[in-house]
Amino acid sequence: AAARLLRGAPMSAPDPAAEELKAQGNALYQRGKWGAAIDAYTDAILIAPRWLPVILNRALCHRKRKNWNAVKEDCLKALDIDRESIKANYMLGLSLIASRNYREASKSLRKALENARASGATIKDEIWRELARANYLQWELDAAARATRLEKVRSKILPLMRSSGENTTVEEQVIDLCSDDAPSAMDATDAFGRDADASEKRREEKNVNIAFDDEDRATLEEMFVRFRERDARVSDPPDCFCCVLTFEVFRDPVVAPSGNSYERSAITEHLKKVGGFDPVTRERMTLDDLRPNVALRNAAHAWLDEHAWAYADIVKPDAPLGGEED
């Protein structure tokens, strides 16, 4: 009941005692004392149950200990206070990846990425890579399921095609595909008094012979090939969707006065460390000259959604979650 009353309430104002416990937790965190830090943050939360910073700090300690269920619980508490929290959405996404709930992880990480971009938070590149991981791992599951479905259908159709090529009847195979049981002889009326002849006529209409000629067989094989192509790594990403500095698909492109587009983080580093000029045209340029290229970003991300195997080029799927080393 108390939880229901608190749900949707504003964030707690910090109490001096809670502030002291938070400071203790922070000091313990800096020393790598995750368990002790969790205890300090928990005591602070008992004093101020809806104080967002300590809830997120405790979630971060659970993340360090790879206690992903506890991370998820704290992030859900944090999101009940602030649905737009970048850190809460991000760590929730990590916890969902750990539990192999990749589709929901992608939703949380997209939310975190949108808010990180809007606020200019530096964590956006890290979030993007975890989003890429979630999308790639979900693609692996979906691709395997699609391959299984395709083989199931193909195993049913290929015998029909072969039988048709030998000019033999395929009525029995068609019956197997249309119903679980082959038709059996019936009396003039069935158990419900229905006309057996009419029922037999309907079955005969369904159990027609199918003949596949060479063109039909070629068409079906082409359909199978086309179906497989969705998950086949048959080509590299189009050059127009890749940054010339990172050689990766754009995640946050900006356009320069020259008309060339670059990955924001890459061109920012170039301007700060190499010099204030366009890396392609060598024209003078500053950070203030850059503009978001939203159209290119949307197009590149749409291509990635259709070719999710390419996410593997952005992140190593088996890398530690959130960049945390063991």
CATH code of the domain containing 304? 3.30.40.10
Does a structural domain hold residue 146? no
- Among the three residues 116, 138, 160, which one is the final residue of a domain in this structure? 138
- Among the three residues 138, 168, 193, which one is the final residue of a domain in this structure? 138
Q: For 67-99, how does the pLDDT look when each residue is reduced to its tens digit (9 = 90+)?
A: 999 999 999 999 999 999 999 999 999 999 999
Does a structural domain hold residue 274? yes
Q: For 246-276, how does the pLDDT look when each residue is reduced to its tens digit (9 = 90+)?
A: 998 998 999 999 999 999 989 999 999 999 9
Q: For 202-242, how does the pLDDT look when each residue is reduced to its tens digit (9 = 90+)?
A: 555 555 556 667 777 788 778 777 777 777 776 788 999 99
Give the number of domains in the chain.
2
Tell me: pLDDT of 176 over 50. Answer: no
- Among the three residues 94, 113, 138, which one is the final residue of a domain in this structure? 138
The CATH number of whichever domain residue 88 belongs to comes to 1.25.40.10
Q: For 2-45, how does the pLDDT look when each residue is reduced to its tens digit (9 = 90+)?
A: 444 445 556 666 789 999 999 999 999 999 999 999 999 999 99
Tell me: pLDDT of 181 over 80. Answer: no
- What string of H, E and C letters represents the secondary structure of the chain? CHHHHHCCCCCCCCCHHHHHHHHHHHHHHHCCCHHHHHHHHHHHHHHCCCCHHHHHHHHHHHHHCCCHHHHHHHHHHHHHHCCCCHHHHHHHHHHHHHCCCHHHHHHHHHHHHHHHHHHCCCCHHHHHHHHHHHHHHHHHHHHHHHHHHHHHHHHHHHHHHHHHHCCCCCHHHHHHHHCCCCCCCCCCECCCCCEHHHHHHHHHHHCCCCCCCHHHHHHHHHHHHHHHHCCCCCCCCCHHHECCCCCCECCCEEECCCCCEEEHHHHHHHHHHCCCECCCCCCECCHHHCEECHHHHHHHHHHHHHCHHHHHHCCCCCCCHHHCCC
Does a structural domain hold residue 200? no
For residue 222, what pLDDT is reported? 80
For residue 131, what pLDDT is reported? 94
Q: Which domain holds residue 259?
A: 239-311
Does a structural domain hold residue 209? no
Residues of the chain with pLDDT > 90: what percent? 54
* Reported confidence tier of residue 300, pLDDT bands at 50, 70, 90: very high
Does a structural domain hold residue 45? yes
Among 119-123, 145-149, 162-166, 283-287, the least confident range: 162-166
Does a structural domain hold residue 181? no
Predicted TM-score (pTM) of this structure: 0.73
Does a structural domain hold residue 30? yes
